[in-house]
Chains A and B, each alone.
Chain A
Amino acid sequence: VVRTTSAVDAVGVTDDSQLVLACGRGDGGALGELFDRHSGAVYRFFSRLVGVNTADLDELVSETFLNVHRSAARFRGQAAVRTWITAIAANVGRHHVRSESRRRAFLTALKGYLHGAVVDADRAAERRDLLRKLGASVTALPYDLRVAYVMCDLEEIPGVEAARVLGIPEGTLWRRLHDARRALREALEGHRRS
């Protein structure tokens, strides 16, 4: 809505890291460019991480990019910018899911889903059902497992980088990934049996 004149635009900088550096110097144009490049991925990340409530997604994405703006001066280039932004989003999401009201709303929705789910004989419908169940199961995972699964398996962020930006040992990340996949598999097994 509000465009700014950016020094970054003027010199034609296209590298993500340089955009972050410019953003850290207060260049609003750089922040806008980062938003343009990565907001889609951040939306997708949140939709997989916390569900698909539109208003919540907008707020979470806004909060993430504001934190990008505030943290840019501390960016040291130890990970790809996309990984770094995803880690910021993961932290923002953590606050979101801690809200008890949201958790209760989610559990209510999940309960409704579980009780109301109809297994369709049609394979396509069954697949959609399975995906819905998987989506619900992902958001029911403990947050740390969820972040590992969404970051590494769905967003395909390299595990080494993910561990670094999340501030955890690599082995911990692999363990979380394993636990997340196993929990999801068990959840889907239960679904198939039902």
Chain B
Amino acid sequence: VTIGTAGGLRGCPEPVELARALTLGASADPAVRTHVLACERCRAIWTDQQQIIALGRQLPFEPPTADRLRLVRGTVLAAARLDRGVSPRRGAALIAAAAFAGAAVITLLATGLLVHRDRAQRPSLTEGSTTERGTGGPPGIRRRSPADIRAGAGARFTVLSGPPHEKVELQEGALRVSVEPATGGETFRIVTRRGEVEVRGTIFETVASSAGLTAVRVERGRVVVRPVPGQEVILTAGQNWQLAAAAPAALSPAPGAAPVVSKAARQRQHPGAGARAGVARTAQISGAPATSWRRDDFVPGGPARSGRDEAGRAVPAAAGSERAVDPADLAFGEGLSRFRAGDPAAAARAFERALALGPAPALAEDVWYWRGVALARSGASGAARDVLAVFLGRFPLSARAGEVSVILGRLLHEAGDRAAAESHFRAGLHDRSARVREAARAGLDALGSQAGQ
């Protein structure tokens, strides 16, 4: 036996081979095992790594309690039926009020909000709109897409590739896309026949014609616009632009459309109007070739919402800009009105719309709560149970968690699931509200008296 360097034998296996042999154990290459027995250095490595494995297997693990498992299980099943994620990432919700019916535009919106994967089952952007989508992406287990794509009327698009470098080609129509903040080199791009937009995270929206990019509005974060290959313009929070020369007549906004589109329409009707005084400098570059686009071509303004750039610095809204009305807020308000008017079924539908629009985090809890209550009040007990279970999964620390537990307990009791009902009533026993505690005790009493019969 010849001694090699560092105390090892000549012909020591590569570290990778050692790792493999250690994992495979008895079925490892006999030559490697024999070598390890003879070689002091390899034996030391082998022993060390065995200790690391053995020690790792002793890492403490406290299994979840039955109640926790039951709660999480219920949340998963309810969310699966509703096809809604229960991601912990709850960023600010922002929805473009763009209902560009018949327009050949893209509306692109990036948020740090929930991830919805099954796009086909989600509500489309507008009534009667259609969605066609490709099934691109690598085979095997796909990473979760950070994007949520919704199609406007008559939209046709193809998902050319999946995460981490997602690429969507728009052939025709309107798209609205929510994208998680990009991390770790992930990218999301929408390409049109000419020009593309690349998401650099957080919140923005883009309007473009299918023939080329037309307008972009950034709410938060950063967007890279490439009107033609080799040219890039980076927009940050509060900025937007519009290429009037390329803006098709179809950009006329539907009622409630985003301000950027309203401005576009005004610009077309009154070129130069509002071009100064900080309202909306003209974005028109009529007749200018796309290759001449400059940063100055973009209209500062857009919604009055403040934002933060990628460094987390607050970015004030542009002076004189208009404030976008959050359609999720509107839908929520409509739901409350319907509920107060004694129409819980219509209220539940309005709350469902609000959820589909991606409410802001502060609003989301209210929407989920009221949707569950409205469904329960309308007699849709099964759906109410699902929604309330999702509520408890998503907002376990909510001040309403106890109340929701008791409501869900009642619904489960009615459905004959006594064990689950009891668990939820017990969860309400320690609520800060005496009314909820009383209701929880009443629920348990009802279960007890029923059991005694």
Contact = CB atoms under 8 A, between A and B. Distances in A.
B184 interface: yes
B73 A63 contact: no
Interface string B227-238: 000000000000
- Secondary structure at the A interface, as helix, strand, loop or mixed, is helix
A91 interface: yes
B80 A31 contact: yes
A154 to B, nearest CB: 5
A39 to B, nearest CB: 6
A59 B49 contact: no
A99 B87 CA distance: 13
B85 A63 contact: yes
B144 A152 contact: no
Contact of A175 (B16, B60, B85, B184): B16
A56 B72 CA distance: 12
Interface in B398-453: 408, 412, 417, 420, 423-424
Interface residues of B, number: 63
A1 B20 contact: no
B56 A1 contact: no
A47 B60 CA distance: 9
A82 interface: no
B77 interface: yes
B57 A181 contact: no
A20 interface: no
B144 A153 contact: no
Interface string A1-18: 111100000000000000
Contacts of B59: 47-48, 131, 134-135, 138, 154
A133 to B, nearest CB: 10
Where chain B touches its partner, the secondary structure class is helix
B70 interface: yes
A135 B56 CA distance: 8
Given A1-B71, A28-B81, A59 B86 contact: yes
A178 B19 contact: yes
B117 interface: yes
Interface in A139-194: 149-150, 152-154, 159, 165, 167, 171, 174-175, 177-178, 181-182, 184-185, 188
B63 A174 contact: no
B81 A66 contact: no
Contacts of A167: 138, 140-141
A70 interface: yes
A98 B73 CA distance: 26
Contact of A66 (B17, B63, B69, B86): B86
B75 to A, nearest CB: 5
Given A3-B417, A154-B59, A39 B73 contact: yes
A150 B56 CA distance: 8
Contact of A177 (B19, B80, B140): B19
B52 interface: yes
B281 interface: no
B76 interface: yes
A67 B144 contact: yes
Contact of A28 (B17, B64, B80, B408): B80
Contacts of A28: 77, 80-81
B36 interface: no
Given A48-B61, A130-B55, A167-B141, A61 B72 contact: yes
A178 B57 contact: no
B141 to A, nearest CB: 5
B306 to A, nearest CB: 20
A106 interface: no
Interface string A30-66: 0110011001100110011000101111111111011
Contacts of B79: 62, 66
Interface stretch (B265-273, B347-355, B385-393): B385-393
Given A1-B408, A177-B23, A70 B118 contact: yes
Contacts of B48: 181, 185
A181 B19 contact: yes
A178 B48 CA distance: 11
Contacts of A149: 56
Contacts of A70: 117-118
Given A63-B86, A181-B49, A184-B52, A35 B62 contact: no
Contact of B393 (A43, A47, A62, A138): A62
Contact of A65 (B64, B76, B88, B184): B76
Given A134-B52, A153-B23, A154-B56, 15 more contacts: A1-B70, A1-B77, A2-B389, A36-B73, A65-B76, A66-B79, A66-B80, A84-B141, A88-B141, A134-B55, A165-B141, A175-B15, A177-B20, A184-B56, A185-B51
Interface of A: 1-4, 28, 31-32, 35-36, 39-40, 43-44, 47-48, 52, 54-63, 65-67, 69-71, 74, 78, 84, 87-88, 91-92, 94-96, 98-99, 130-131, 134-135, 138, 149-150, 152-154, 159, 165, 167, 171, 174-175, 177-178, 181-182, 184-185, 188
